[in-house]
Amino acid sequence: MLANDLINNILNISFWMSSPSLLYNAIGAIIYLIMVFIIFSVFGYTVGWLERKLIARVQYRHGPTYVGMWGILQNMADLIKLLSKQEVSLAKGSRLLYAISLPLMLSFSIFIILLIPYSPALQATNLGLGLIAVFTIISFMPLLLFMTAVATGNKFAGISAQRSVLILLSYEIPTLMVIAAIGMLSNSYSLQSIVSAQSQFYYVVLMPIGFVILFITLLAEFERPPFDLKEADSELIAGWLTDYSSPYYALSLFLDYARMFLGSVILAILFFGGWSGPSIAPPLFWLIAKAFIIAIFIIMVRATTFRMRIDRVLRFGWLWLIPLSLINIVITYILFIA
Amino acid sequence: MPVTRINIGPVHPSTHGVIRLEVDLDGDTIVDVEPHIGFLHRGVEKLVETRMYMQCPPYMEKLDYVAPMAFNEAYVSAVEAAMGIEVKERAQYLRTMLLELQRIASHLFGIGTLCNDLGQMFTVFMWAFKDRDIVLDLLQEAAGSRMFYVNMRLGGLNQDIGPEFHGHAMKVMDYMERRIGEYEDYIEKNPIFMERMRGVGVLSAEQAKNLGVTGPVLRASGVNFDARKNNPYYIYSKLNFNPKVLTSGDNFARYKVKMLEMRESIRIVRSVLESLPGGDALGMPVKLRSPNPANRIATSSRELPRGEVFMYLVADPQKPYRLSIRSPNFINLAALRHMSKGARMADLFAIMGSLDLVMGGVDR
């Protein structure tokens, strides 16, 4: 019991942060960073392995089996292989942008990961506009992607960059409108109060249309199929990543896991009550469990769907997502506010 | 907007072998496509002039590595025509059945790769390969090999089928019929698939005739031509079957024709197995010396899974003097340019996939 309390106190970041002593703040920051790193890497790695395994099972394959038990170390082996490959350097394009854009993209993702509260205690700071902040940084991603693509001067990457800007038009507006509806429901944009506002009903019950829209737009945001047309491997080889090799390509895989993690955690927090759950397990467990189930769902979408075409994505966004998200706001207003 | 020229291939995830496409893009719309071929050119037509007649079938099989037996059979039948050899009755039935099994295996491959080109994460591809494997097992039982059979002999086959084959084949046919229904359910109920296939890459009947395309591509454009029906060989004239013709000429029609043809092939295999006559099916053993040809010029025209192949053989004693192959892959590739003008960049690969090309047959 005492040990449990002790652990809880150590993990209580706000306790460390509220102290006037700089040393205490530093310890708190380090604990927080280590915790988030563990959460992210374990989640990302497990989901990455599960993705290969699940898709393999859908396709009557076994997936990785040789490296480690059930092939669990296969991704490590792949990472080592990627890092040991020769880097093919650019003949044209901007060397500087080439070097910084992917690391920048990854660091933006990590920044968002650090903004998210993982339990009442485990969070960096309770931002009043946390939700807005998260989505503001997410919306920088297409810009960085554009930069990444243009840096290489590759034509496939160029087409990919065009596509990324085009589909931005179709998913960014519905995303923001769903966020507005969430703000209306919870009376706050702080992620902590959004979770505590879901103590009675999860928002997926109160706002099913909003959940479906945000699920779809996050798939588009994070390049998951059927909206993977920026990286469309059967058309554009690897899209914006075509000219990135060895360490940079490994970074892009990290980025994939980071985005998968972000997407599922954000959906879990906004619609499935985040860390709230029976007290038999710590809050962090509930959040991760919910995010895990959402991640499995995203993986199954990938296993079964075809890729949409760019003009169809635009039409879908403007004809379905935007009107539906408006309807969602109206319904939310009529049912819960007025 | 200025036209961008991009170069696709020869090494690209969805070129189905080695082909280079020069694509002119206006934004995302295709202005022109120019295919560059020859990466798989092995000079087979010249090579066979230096070989004895029955040394050539292995070369023929490598022309179409997805349906090798069909190409081989077309060559062997040209040689038989030159030598005036009659194929034994039981062998005629068995050849018909094997060719239809080969057609099922080949169409499964085509549909799997088509779904891959449409951005599917290998799911239909792997399913199709699993089922293709079952058909290949059957072919192995009948012909002795899985990929390159070389089982055609002058006047017959290399081996007769065993007593259990009938039961195995019937079981596989029942399974395949069920599976094809499942594919149709899964693929055609997907709205993304349907909207990417319908009305894309339209080839009108007039264009199709002018370009000389054959096979499923031609029949999807509404032209009722099938070498099995219009120029019947073996026992096709005795069989009750109809070539499948659709009129819309788009990607979806080309996919659907393949699906319908698989069902038709299953029916043909069943009826052949039921009416299989007794007797001997073995052909002449392979010897270096074969009979001297009776005719100087012989031809054979066969309906391959990908279209009509026409072999024109000028026969010398013991060796072909000249063999000219009209490959359906090569002719169908010519339609690519006409079908993809005005289409989206993403559709180029859907169109390529629906043509179901094998580059070995294009380059020869």
**pLDDT tens, residue by residue, B84-132:** 888 888 888 999 999 999 999 999 998 988 888 888 888 888 999 999 9
How many residues make up chain A in this entry?
338
| Chain A residues touching residue B28 (CB < 8 angstroms) | 159, 162-163, 310-311
| Chain A residues touching residue B345 (CB < 8 angstroms) | 159, 235
User: Is B20 part of the contact surface with chain A (CB cutoff 8 Å)?
Assistant: no
User: Is A58 part of the contact surface with chain B (CB cutoff 8 Å)?
Assistant: yes
**pLDDT tens, residue by residue, B30-59:** 888 988 888 888 888 888 888 888 888 888
**pLDDT tens, residue by residue, B55-81:** 888 888 888 888 888 888 999 999 988
CATH number at residue B353: 1.10.645.10
Instruction: Supply the range of the domain harboring residue B46.
Output: 4-197+278-363
pLDDT of residue A281: 76
Does the pLDDT of residue B1 top 70, yes or no? no
Does residue B300 form part of some domain? yes
**pLDDT tens, residue by residue, A45-66:** 899 898 889 999 988 888 888 8
Does residue B94 form part of some domain? yes
Does residue B333 form part of some domain? yes
Nearest to A60 among B13, B25, B130 (CB): B130
Facing residues of B324 across strands? B312
Residue of B nearest to A57 (CA): B123
- Phi/psi region, residue B107 (left: phi>0; alpha: psi -120 to 50; beta: rest), is alpha
How many residues make up chain B in this entry?
364
Contact of B138 with B169, CB cutoff 8 Å: yes
Does residue B338 form part of some domain? yes
- Give the separation between CA A257 and CA A265, rounded to whole angstroms: 12
**ipTM for the complex shown:** 0.81
pTM: 0.87
- Give the separation between CA B345 and CA B330, rounded to whole angstroms: 22
Residues sharing a CB contact under 8 Å with residue B11, sequence separation 6 or more, in sequence order = B18
- Spans of all domains in chain A: 93-337
Does residue B141 form part of some domain? yes
Contact A306 B196 (CB under 8 A): yes
Does residue B90 form part of some domain? yes
Residues sharing a CB contact under 8 Å with residue B323, sequence separation 6 or more, in sequence order = B45, B48, B49, B56, B75, B78, B311, B312, B313, B314
Contact A312 B121 (CB under 8 A): no
Nearest to B123 among A232, A234, A303 (CB): A303
Residues sharing a CB contact under 8 Å with residue A293, sequence separation 6 or more, in sequence order = none
Does residue B245 form part of some domain? no
